Amino acid sequence: MSSDIAIKVESIGKCYHIYDRPRDRLMQMILGRKRQYFREFWALRNVDFEVRKGETLAIIGKNGSGKSTLLQMICSILNPTCGTIKVNGRVAALLELGAGFNPEFTGRENVYMAAALYGLTKEDVDQRFSAIATFADIGEHIEQPVKTYSSGMYVRLAFAVIAHVDADILVVDEALAVGDAVFTQKCMRFIRSFQQKGTLLFVSHDTAAVQNLCEKALWLANGQVKGFGSSKEVSEAYLQNSLQEVYGEQINLSSVTKKSSIEADAQVTTNGREISRGFVDYDAKLKIVNNLSDANGWKSGSAEIIDVRVSNLSEDGREVFEGGELIRLNIRARAYTDLDRPIIGFTVKDRLGQDLFGENTLPFTAYNKKSVKSGEEFEGSFCFQLPMLPNGQYALLAAVANGDLHEHVQHHWLHDAAIISVSSSKVRWGLVGIKFESVKLSVI
Ligand SMILES: Nc1ncnc2c1ncn2[C@@H]1O[C@H](COP(=O)(O)OP(=O)(O)OP(=O)(O)O)[C@@H](O)[C@H]1O
C-alpha cells in the first residue's frame, strides 16, 4: 500500500447467519454438514474505498446501513467475511458500542488499560494521566467504578483517552452526541486540531456537520456504497434520497444537476465575465448573483422556483451590497398543482455547507394563510440587514414547499440559487462579523 494511504478497503463483505429459532442454531451445530439452518444476511457487501493520510471522511447512511460494522472492521473489532482492509497507523476510536471499559474497574484503572491497548506504557500514561483527567472533567468520579457512570461521563472519559494516545487515525461516531454542549465543543476543538495532522473518519446523520467537517463522504445503503466523493455532493444526494423515502411514491423528487457553482475551483462566472476567486474587480463587499440556471437540487414537479432577486430598498439595480445594508430578497415560484399552504424559504451557507442564517414564510403566514392554484405564481419577500461575512463564496439555498411545521413536502430545492461573493471584507475570523462603532487601545 502506498505510504500516503491511511486506509484501503478492498471488496469487503460481512455476512451474518440469521437463525429464525434458537433450536436452529443448535441443529446447525449438530447437523450442520447435512443441512443449512440459517439465512445469510450481508451487513456489508462489495465495499471498496481508500482514505489518504490527512483526509477527513464522513460515513453516512440511515440506521442499519452498515456504518458501525464498517468502522468496527477498520478498528479490528470485527473480521470481514471477505475482502481486505489495510490500515496504515494507530487507530483510536470512539464508537457507540463503548470504549471497551471494564465496568467493575475505576475510571483511572480503565484509562491505564485502554491506553495500554493503544500501545502506551505505564510511564506514558503516568505522564498523561492528569491531562486525560482534566480533559474528561468528571472530578472525583474518575476514582469510581465505571459501572456507576452516566453515559455522558463514560463518553467524556473515552474521548479523553483517545485524545491522548497519539493516534494517526481517529474514528468518531454518534457517541459524541451523548456529551453536553460544552464537552461537545471541547471535542470539536480537539477534532479540528487533530485534522491538521491526522486522518479522521466521522459518522454522523447531520449532513451540515458532515459538510462542515469533512472533505469527502462515503454513503452506505443496505451495506453497499451508494456514493463516494466530495462531502457536499454526497451529503446533498443523501439528503434528497432521505426526503424521497419520507415522501414515498406519491412525490417523485428528480435531481436538478448543473455544473457546480460554489465549488467551481478557480473561476466564478458572473454576467458573462470571469473573475478569479479571492480577487474581484470591484470595491464593494458582497456581490449577489442569481445562479438559477446553474443551480443544483431537486424538484417534485408540483412547484418551481422561477426567480431569485436581491435588491436594495431603493431598487437601483445594484448587484453589489455592503454588509449591514438593508436588502430585499424575492423568491418567486410557480405552482403546477394547487398548493393549500405554500412556503418559501432560504438559507445562506458557507462553502463548507454550514448554515449561517435563513428564514421562511411559514411563521409569518400562520394567521393569514395563503393558497395558490395550479398555474399561479407566488413570491416570498424577505427584507433584512445583510450580515458582514468573511471573504469567500456563499450559496443561497432557496426552497419552495407546501405544508406546515410538522408535515411538509419540499417541492423545489436549489442548493445554490444565488451565489454571494464577498471580497475586501474586514471580517478576519468567525463566521459572520458585526460592525464595530469604534475600537481603541488606551494606555491608562
Ligand atoms: N451480530 C449481528 N448479527 C446479525 N445482524 C447484525 C449483527 N450486527 C449487525 N447486524 C445487522 O447489520 C446491519 C448493519 O448494522 P450496523 O450496526 O453496521 O448499521 P449502522 O449503519 O451502524 O446503523 P445505526 O445508524 O443504527 O448505528 C443491520 O441490519 C444490523 O441489524
Mutate to test the pocket of ligand 1, among 67, 95, 222, 225 (most ligand atoms within 8 A of CB): 67
Ligand 1 closest atom vs CA 18: 4
68 lines ligand 1 (CB under 6 A): yes
CATH superfamily of 5-234: P-loop containing nucleotide triphosphate hydrolases (3.40.50.300)
Read off the pLDDT of residues 349-370 as tens digits, 9 standing for 90 and up.
876 677 889 999 998 887 777 8
* Each residue's pLDDT tens digit, 367-400: 777 899 999 999 999 999 888 888 888 889 999 9
Q: Which three cell numbers stand for residue 202?
A: 466521522
Task: Tell me if residue 347 falls in helix, strand or coil.
Answer: strand
For residue 205, what pLDDT is reported?
Answer: 79
For ligand 1, is residue 66 a contact (CB within 6 Å)? yes
pLDDT at 191 over 80: yes
* Res 176 pLDDT > 50: yes
Lowest mean per-residue pLDDT among 64-78, 188-202, 265-279, 417-431: 265-279
Per residue in 200-237, pLDDT (tens digit) is 999 887 787 788 888 899 999 999 999 999 998 898 89
3-state SS class at 365: helix
59 lines ligand 1 (CB under 6 A): no
State how far the Cα of 94 lies from the Cα of 100, in Å rounded to an integer. 10
Q: How far is the CA of 368 from the centre of ligand 1 (A)?
A: 47
Q: Where in the chain is the domain with CATH 2.70.50.60?
A: 256-422
Question: For residue 124, how many C-alpha atoms fall within 13 Å in the half-sphere facing its CB?
Answer: 15
pLDDT digits (tens, 9 = 90+) for 114-167: 999 888 999 999 999 999 999 999 999 999 999 999 988 988 999 999 999 999
Average pLDDT over residues 36-46: 89
Instruction: Decide: 170 in ligand 1 pocket, CB within 6 A.
Output: no
Q: Domain 256-422 has what CATH class?
A: mainly beta
- Could you tell me where in the chain the CATH 3.40.50.300 domains are found? 5-234
Lowest mean per-residue pLDDT among 200-204, 241-245, 253-257, 284-288:
284-288
Q: Give the separation between CA 215 and CA 53, rounded to whole angstroms.
A: 13
pLDDT category at 50 given cuts 50, 70, 90 is very high
Residue % of the chain over a pLDDT of 70 = 88
Is 103's pLDDT higher than 80? Answer: yes
pLDDT tens digit sequence for 82-100? 999 999 999 988 876 555 7
| Residue corresponding to grid cell 444526494 | 237
pLDDT at position 381, please?
A: 95
Which range (256-270, 393-407, 420-434) has the least confidence?
A: 256-270
Which residue of 25, 39, 65 sits with most ligand 1 atoms within 8 Å of its CB, as the best mutation to test the pocket? 65
For residue 75, what are the CA distances in angstroms to 91, 109, 112? 7, 22, 19
Give the bridge partners for 305, in sequence order.
333
In which band, very low, low, confident or very high, does the pLDDT at 276 lie, cut at 50, 70 and 90? Answer: very low
ipTM score assigned to the predicted complex: 0.97
Is the CB of residue 77 less than 8 Å from the CB of residue 29? no
Q: Does residue 328 carry a pLDDT above 90?
A: yes
Rounded distance between C-alpha atoms, residue 35 and residue 423, angstroms: 71
What is the pTM for the complete model shown? 0.74
User: How confident is the model at residue 35, as a pLDDT?
Assistant: 77
17 CB near ligand 1 (under 6 Å): no
